Amino acid sequence: MEKIVILTGAGISAESGLGTFRDEGGLWAQHRIEDVATPEGFARDPALVHGFYNARRAQAAKAQPNAAHKALARLQRHWPREVVIVTQNVDSLHEAGGAENVIHMHGTLSGALCGACAHRWTAPPEMSVDEPCPACAAPTARPDVVWFGEMPYHMDAIYDHLSGAAIFAAIGTSGQVYPAAAFVHDASMSGARTVELNLDPSTGVSSFDEVILGPATETVPRWVDGLLGRY
């Protein structure tokens, strides 16, 4: 039976009301990456960065999982082999939709990290520059998300899953940020059949065996029904 590995991006949460990054009016049209999503930006103005993530944390707290998140959880429950969900998203809508063991390669808004001792804890709704680390008390708390120039999390596990994938799906990602943008190549090299489900074709669309365009809340449930109908 075939193992399925799924990569998701901001597009899967778009219909839950969370903005994407590079679509019209997206987050990177409103904020400069270098100011709010780099270690240098945080060092320069931690209050600005905390404000950016506090706003995203508040928005994510109000968002509900949509039919696409729920369909992937259904696939995990009914597919006879492993279904691994790797997400670039820092919201927790996959888990809210019932998915399990989600791999957050860019961390999560619900996490806080100490820049001094690397202690991790659950972030309060509002983080600020003088948030003391619960372990070392240093005022160096930051959101536990991966910024540009930092190594994504869980890469060894992700590459291990990709090497064993029979089906690889990329859902709602523009394919512009590495290493995630290369996962389709890694999966293809391991013999996986690859499919992209997106509103618009991604940068790497030509690398996929199959492309299904449309809103995720329509395409993902239909794709899951097709897979489950096969077994």
The one segment of 57-65, 96-104, 121-129, 192-200 that binds ligand APR by CB under 6 A: 192-200
Neighbours of 177 (CB within 10 A): 16
- Annotate each residue in 24-63 with x if it binds ligand APR (CB under 6 A) or - if it does not, as one string: --x-------------------------------------
Strand, coil or helix: what is 151?
coil
What's the min distance (Å) between Cβ of 202 and ligand APR? Answer: 5
The residue assigned the tokens 């029904």 is 225
Exposure string over 156-169, b if 16+ CB within 10 A, otherwise e: eebeebbebbebbb
Site residues (CB under 6 A) for ligand APR, limited to 210-229: 215-216
DSSP at 97: T
Q: CA 44 to CA 54: how far, in whole Å?
A: 18
Residue 196 is a binding residue for ligand APR (CB under 6 A): no
Token pair, residue 27, equals: 């987050």
69, 94, 104, 106: which is the annotated catalytic residue?
106
- Binding ligand APR (rule: CB under 6 A), the pick from 46, 65, 97, 172 is 172
78 is catalytic: no
CA dihedral 76, 174, 168, 165 (to 10 degrees): -100
Q: Does 10 bind ligand APR (CB under 6 A)?
A: yes
Is 217 part of any known ligand binding site?
no
Q: What whole-number distance in Å separates Cα of residue 228 and Cα of residue 17? A: 28
DSSP classification of residue 152: P
Residues 69-88, interacting with ligand APR (CB under 6 A): 88
Residue 177 carries which DSSP code?
S
Beta bridge partners of 168: 5, 194
* Closest distance of CB 132 from ligand APR, Å: 27
23 binds ligand APR (CB under 6 A): yes
Q: How far is the CB of 14 from ligand APR (least distance, A)?
A: 4
Q: Give the annotated binding-site residues.
A: 9-28, 53, 56, 88-91, 114, 117, 133, 136, 172-174, 198-200, 216
Residues serving a catalytic function are 106
Can you give the binding site for ligand APR, defined by CB under 6 A?
9-11, 14-15, 20-23, 26, 88, 106, 172-174, 176-177, 198-200, 202, 215-216
